[in-house]
Amino acid sequence: MNPADAGSPPALSQSPHNKISGDRNSRFTHSIYFVVLVALLLRLAVITIGHTYRITPRRDHFQFGWEMGRIARSLATGQGFASPTDLPTGPTAWMPPVYPYLLAGVFKVFGVYSPSSAWVILAFNSLVEALTCLIIYRIGENVFIPAVARASAWVWAVFPYLIYWPVRVVYETCLSTFLLSLALLLTLRMAAQASPARSWVAYGLLWGVIVLTNPALVTMLPFFLLFLLYRQPRHPGSALLCLVCAALVVCPWLIRNYEVFGRFIFVRDNLPMELSMANNDQSDGFWTRNEHPANDPETMATFQQMGEAAFMKRRGREARQFIQSHPGRFLWFTLKRAVYFWISPPQAAIYAGYDFRFSRHMNYFLEAALSFAGLWVVIRNRTRAAFLFACLLLVYPLPYYIVSPYPRYKHLIEPEMTLLIVYLLAESGRIQLRWPLPRASS
């Protein structure tokens, strides 16, 4: 031993304090909360460094939330929940209320259509997408194994395609994705053991918020409740309590719609227009831009003159007439939209003079194919959540098969698709393919 070292303090690596600190750091970097932090910081970096908050001012910032942005502007400027297009058209039920009110609050504080508002709302989208990592992990932990849960959370955190939606799109897409995944997680937990009344109350309140955020998701509620009643058959009264709580959240908005329009409207009223734009003589099964009030001055004038309620009623009548007169074409359009829901609609993808449209379709196709393969493995292994995963992949898309199959609609079930893909890859090593071997010659 060197005498000069006799009185020296212990090495830094041997310090008990630093060892404990290192253990804490190691535990944090290996925790799901570290994944959530990485997901959030990565998205915020893309927003800030990539300047995605600089949304084009074209058409008076219409891409800043589209109809939701217009309604939020109306709210922020004291005009009420109204005018979903470029010109003043009075009160509206075009959109569900949660996200426009959220966006209006941002506008009130940071300015209408300002870069600051864009950064804040995209940061909010990024936060709920990062928290979705946590939900994905908890679902994977509940249904599969921790390794699948962790890998799925990391995929959600860092995969570039999944980063696109929160950093580019000012819409309720990310919030709806988080809420639907949260509902799935609560369903699994409540199905595992008898839950107190307060859990059913919270579950119902959550579904009320979901419906006011994206009413299309109400199609999942019966299946989630059916799963719960199958797992907890002694609690039919609790399911009724859940529905009552959900109704208490939704009913004030339904009453508002009735008072404003004089008729019952379930949350939003633009489905007839969407149905008409995707199913008409000029359509090839996809949304026709020139029939939207925001894109066509003549349609805009008609919309202003008739008012929203009469306009939507007229478009619904046109859609029904087309479907009744051309059932074959409607069926063909629906089949096309069903395919394009999973492989994305036809769209030019030009980069450096090359069109990567085929590559774009193939990327979406591979995601869908692997997800359905994962669903098959889940069903084959009789995983207890197989019914719920099947409903999300088979039932949820049905409304979009008759209107518009845009990729952002599919994003709402991509947490579950991610879990299915990772589970498939984890299980692939256990799958043995038994090929017939030639008999040895005697």
Q: What is the pLDDT of residues 185-213, one digit of tens each?
A: 999 999 998 889 999 999 999 999 999 99
pLDDT for res 382: 94
Residue 261 one-letter amino acid: F
> Band of the pLDDT at 22, cuts 50, 70, 90?
low
Q: What is the mean pLDDT of the chain?
A: 91
> Band of the pLDDT at 6, cuts 50, 70, 90?
very low
Asked if the model's pLDDT at residue 434 lies above 80, the reply is no
Q: Which ranges of 15-112 would DSSP assign to H, the alpha helix?
A: 16-29, 32-49, 58-61, 66-76, 98-110
Tokens of 88: 């003043």
Compute the average pLDDT of residues 115-143.
Answer: 98
Tokens of 274: 């969407």
pLDDT for res 21: 60
Contacts 24+ apart (CB under 8 A), 409-414: 409/341, 410/341, 410/342, 411/165, 411/173, 411/174, 411/177, 412/173, 412/176, 412/177, 412/180, 412/214, 412/217, 413/180, 414/162, 414/177, 414/367
**With pLDDT > 70 as the criterion, what percentage of the chain qualifies?**
89
Share of the chain residues as helix, strand and coil, in percent rounded to the nearest 5: 70, 0, 30
Tokens of 408: 């952002």
Whether the CB-CB separation of 343 and 353 falls below 8 Å is answered with no
| pTM for the model | 0.91
User: Which of helix, strand or coil describes residue 354?
Assistant: strand
Model confidence pLDDT, tens digit, residues 239-262: 999 999 999 999 999 999 999 999
